A and B are shown apart, each in its own frame.
Chain A
Amino acid sequence: MSVFKTNIGKWLQIKSLEADGLYHLTFAEHHIGNVWIRSIHGGVSASTIELCAEAETQKLLEEGQDVTVSTGTIDYLRITKDADIFAKATIVRKSKRLSIVDVVCWQDDEAIPVARGSVTLRIG
């Protein structure tokens, strides 16, 4: 099952786009972290990065294999606003037991990223 069909996937409102490795979070009021400047919660961006890394790895799994996030490191590059987030996931390395995925997030312009993350996942 796609990670986006889970409860957390539905709460985040993420879907996979047709372009390779591209994902889209539809903004919702419950994504707000700082209510005064209406920026998206840092944990929402981080969770989005983890789910996108997981979804990208799921595409390469063999029958019966599963994947879970082991470690995520997120850099917050700019203040977000109350708007949709796009994410691009790139698999840096996939071995039999591990997958390392880089994810970049932006809102208005891919050239102006709001966050980036490196996620290590365990394949079992």
Chain B
Amino acid sequence: MTKAADHPAQLLFTDKHPLTADLKMKFEGVVDHTLTVTLNAPETFADQDGIHTHTGFSTLFLDTVMGSCVLGEMENPQTIATIKLTTNHLGKAKIGEKLVCRATFQGEENEIAYVSGKILASKEERLIATAIGTFMVGTATKSIREKS
């Protein structure tokens, strides 16, 4: 099993990253090309009822974990970018409940990586969302501000 300290996306699992610091994600390891990350559904992303997270949170969480999954699969460290993301929202997460996100690396062809992912409410394994992500490997290493 890969540990957080050995994973290329380890920055995402600390409070040093501006976005993921808000998510407080916990790296659980990589087994058979599947990265598992857990967190408690954050109040910061509450929906209109104030009880559940908004679907946008699931999308954000899945994109983060699936991208991290790709980073962990690369032999040489490279930058990546999401090029396509499809998310199906099957349920709602309650604020504060423990969520498990699993992202499985499906393969890479022509510098495009394919990943599937899902979020489950850990207590009863209730399915919250599923996703398919496509990532370009070896993208820009400079800000477009520096290029222009």
A44 CB-CB contact with B under 8 Å: yes
Which secondary structure characterizes the binding site on chain A?
Answer: mixed
Cα(A52)–Cα(B47), bound, Å: 14
A66 shortest CB reach to chain B, Å: 8
Q: Is A72 an interface residue (CB 8 A)?
A: yes
Task: Please tell me if A46 contacts chain B, counting CB pairs below 8 Å.
Answer: yes
Question: A30-B19, A32-B18, A50-B56 are contacts. A79–B47 as well, Cβ < 8 Å?
Answer: no
B64 at the interface (CB under 8 A from A): yes
Query: Interface on chain B toward A: helix, strand, loop, or mixed SS?
Result: mixed
CA distance A68 to B61 in the complex (A): 18
Per the CB 8 Å criterion, the residue count for chain B at the interface is 42
Residues on B with C-beta less than 8 A from A42 are 63, 67, 81-82, 85
A:54-81 near B, CB below 8 Å: 68-76, 79, 81
The distance in angstroms between the C-alpha atoms of A5 and B57, with both chains bound, is 15
Most chain B CB neighbours (cut-off 10 Å) among A31, A32, A73: A73
Interface size for A (C-beta < 8 A) is: 39
Contact with B along A12-40 (1 / 0, CB 8 A): 10000000000000000111111111110
| Contact of A73 with B84 in the complex, beta carbons under 8 Å | yes
Q: Please give the residue numbers on chain A whose beta carbons come within 8 Å of chain B beta carbons, in ascending order.
A: 1, 3, 6-8, 11-12, 29-39, 41-44, 46-48, 50-51, 68-76, 79, 81-82
**Contact surface of B with A, Cβ cutoff 8 Å:** 11, 17-19, 21-22, 43-48, 50, 53-57, 59-64, 67, 79, 81-89, 139-145
* Pairs across A and B, CB under 8 Å, 5 listed: A6-B47, A37-B140, A46-B56, A69-B56, A79-B144
